[in-house]
Amino acid sequence: MAKLWSGRFQKETDRLVDDFHSSISFDSRLYKYDITGSMAHARMLARVGVISGREAEAIVRGLEEILADIEAGRVEFSIAAEDIHMNVEQLLIERIGDVGKKLHTARSRNDQVALDVRMYLRDEIDAVLELLAGLVQTLLDLAEKHVETVMPGYTHLQRAQPVTLAHHLLAYCQMFGRDMERLRDCRRRVNVMPLGAGALAGTTFPLDREFVARELGFDAITENSLDAVSDRDFAVEFTAAASLVMVHLSRFCEEIILWSSSEFGFIELDDAYSTGSSMMPQKKNPDVAELIRGKSGRVFGDLVALLTMLKGLPLAYNKDMQEDKESLFDAVDTVKKCLLIFRPMLATMRVKGENMARAARGGFTNATDLADYLVKRGVPFREAHEIVGRAVAYCLDREKSLDELSLEEFHRFSRVIEDDVYEAISIARCVEARGVPGGPAPEAVRQAIRSARERLN
Ligand code: ARG
């Protein structure tokens, strides 16, 4: 079949050109959106009297059959037909004849592709949101079990102050919760209907754009035809939000990798989410976590590719924009795959609470609490800091922890210290005492879990 736009050409396109500019190899995944968008367009054309009701019916029926055939794997797409839009249109014409040639009235592939990508992305945002909600659910379930599981909190990857595993997990709940907000917000700008923008300057036909928007579940219609066909900021926004999801997953994975090492020994990953070494029989590697960490780079790359593709383009549509798809699809696929596997990996890991507690007891994580103890007995904080610093140095020399000092030894550093110091700097007490909203004390954490659950529902 000749190209749908061949009228003004004397020669066929070079085979190399066909190969080079065809997008069907990747945009075929938009077929469902392309077809449902075309059905709505055809119905609308009949509604405003541009085609007859019978013609619209024939078109819709033809499109339904094509959809069924694609879904059943009975359609072979053609590279010469360039993209999914012209493949579908060409199939329609082959099947229903001349009526099929009326479908593209008052429409361009430029507004059509914008429509398809928006419909696709809307669905994918919903899918990513569901995966994120599931992950947060798992985090909250796990947190509930570990409200009293003490572990060291770190700064500079040096033991700093004691927290609990639940508190640590809730930090990620916050991050993923904000990711969800960002995606919901992005979805509002994705869900705007561009059809009617035509190639760039709208159309002379009296289209009912609102009807198409309603048919296809859009909240609004685009307000400028040039903008409608030439921006992809919504795809950039999604990829930026997806990049942050990947940042959060990647940081979490980094911790899981550290925690599962013998050096930390905080967790053991389930066999089902670990792999072995081809040479070293003893190895159990956190490959899944490493791969998620590694795949974050792909999504950041997709974001940079989209930004770079757009930045120099004059209005309105330019073919460069066809490059939006592979980046966007890759970002969607990657973030979904990573979320899908991360959740069960987390849910099945074994927590080694005793090792966490031991680590929290070492490393002077209660030093700030000793300083606070002195402050509560009238010592200015800066002075208390100095005193405890000297006590720590003393302990280091003798390979002791602060709570192993005798009262006599304590008195070398300060006379205000009394017997109640041991209770005040016990690790459990250090956590319990941090009851400020947003802090790690079990009560504060239980409250945080409750409000997180409410927000989720
Ligand atoms: N395959 C094209 C894309 O993805 C569809 C739009 C083509 N429009 C055009 N005027 N060449 O962007």
User: Of 41, 74, 105, which residue constitutes the final position of a domain?
Assistant: 105
State which amino acid sits at residue 237: E
Confidence tier at 63 by pLDDT (50, 70, 90): very high
Tens digits of residue pLDDT in 275-321:
888 888 888 899 999 999 999 999 999 999 999 999 999 999 999 99
Instruction: Please give the pLDDT value at position 27.
Output: 98
Cβ 209 vs Cβ 224: under 8 Å: no
pLDDT at 13 over 90: no
Same-domain check for residues 162 and 71: no
Q: Residue 319 Cα, ligand 1 centroid: separation in angstroms?
A: 6
What span, in angstroms and rounded, lies between the C-alpha atoms of 39 and 292? 39
Q: Flag whether 453 is in a domain.
A: no
Same-domain check for residues 348 and 363: no
Query: What residue ranges line ligand 1, CB within 6 angstroms?
Result: 23, 27, 83, 109-110, 113, 317, 319, 321-322
If one counts every other C-beta atom within 10 angstroms of the C-beta of residue 178, the result is 14
Q: Flag whether 182 is in a domain.
A: yes
Give me the active site residues, please.
156, 277
pLDDT at 169 over 90: yes
Same-domain check for residues 86 and 129: no
User: Of 308, 324, 354, which residue constitutes the final position of a domain?
Assistant: 354
Domain total of the chain = 3
Domain of residue 410, CATH code: 1.10.40.30
Same-domain check for residues 153 and 221: yes
Same-domain check for residues 221 and 330: yes
Tens digits of residue pLDDT in 191-214:
999 999 999 999 999 999 999 999
Instruction: Please give the pLDDT value at position 385.
Output: 97
Phi, psi of 427 (to 5 degrees): -60, -40
Same-domain check for residues 88 and 119: no
Same-domain check for residues 153 and 130: yes
Tens digits of residue pLDDT in 218-240:
999 999 999 999 999 999 999 99
Q: Flag whether 452 is in a domain.
A: no
> Which of 78, 83, 329 has the most ligand 1 atoms within 8 A of CB, as the residue to mutate?
83
On average, the pLDDT of the chain sits at 96
pLDDT at 1 over 80: no
Which domain, by its residues, includes 392?
359-443
Residue with tokens 């754009």: 209
Q: Flag whether 130 is in a domain.
A: yes
Residue among 266, 428, 254 nearest 356 (CA): 266
Same-domain check for residues 222 and 274: yes
Q: Flag whether 201 is in a domain.
A: yes
Residue among 54, 122, 123, 113 nearest 324 (CA): 113
Q: Residue 84 Cα, ligand 1 centroid: separation in angstroms?
A: 10
What span, in angstroms and rounded, lies between the C-alpha atoms of 38 and 102? 11
> How many residues in the chain?
457
Same-domain check for residues 206 and 74: no
What span, in angstroms and rounded, lies between the C-alpha atoms of 367 and 381? 13
DSSP letter at 72? Answer: T
Instruction: Please give the pLDDT value at position 341.
Output: 98
Same-domain check for residues 126 and 207: yes
pTM over 0.75: yes
Confidence tier at 81 by pLDDT (50, 70, 90): very high
Cβ 48 vs Cβ 207: under 8 Å: yes
**Angle value at C-alpha 224, between 221 and 228, nearest 5 degrees:** 70
Residue 247 tokens, joined: 């940042």
What span, in angstroms and rounded, lies between the C-alpha atoms of 191 and 122? 7
Same-domain check for residues 136 and 98: no
What span, in angstroms and rounded, lies between the C-alpha atoms of 330 and 346? 24
Q: Flag whether 35 is in a domain.
A: yes
Alpha helices in 260-352 (DSSP H): 287-311, 324-348
Residue among 228, 219, 208, 210 nearest 56 (CA): 208
Q: Flag whether 78 is in a domain.
A: yes
User: Of 73, 105, 137, which residue constitutes the final position of a domain?
Assistant: 105
Q: Flag whether 449 is in a domain.
A: no
Confidence tier at 266 by pLDDT (50, 70, 90): very high
Which SS3 state, helix, strand or coil, does residue 285 take? strand
pLDDT at 252 over 80: yes
Domain of residue 100, CATH code: 1.10.275.10
Instruction: Please give the pLDDT value at position 280.
Output: 84
Domain of residue 138, CATH code: 1.20.200.10
Q: Residue 311 Cα, ligand 1 centroid: separation in angstroms?
A: 18
Same-domain check for residues 139 and 173: yes
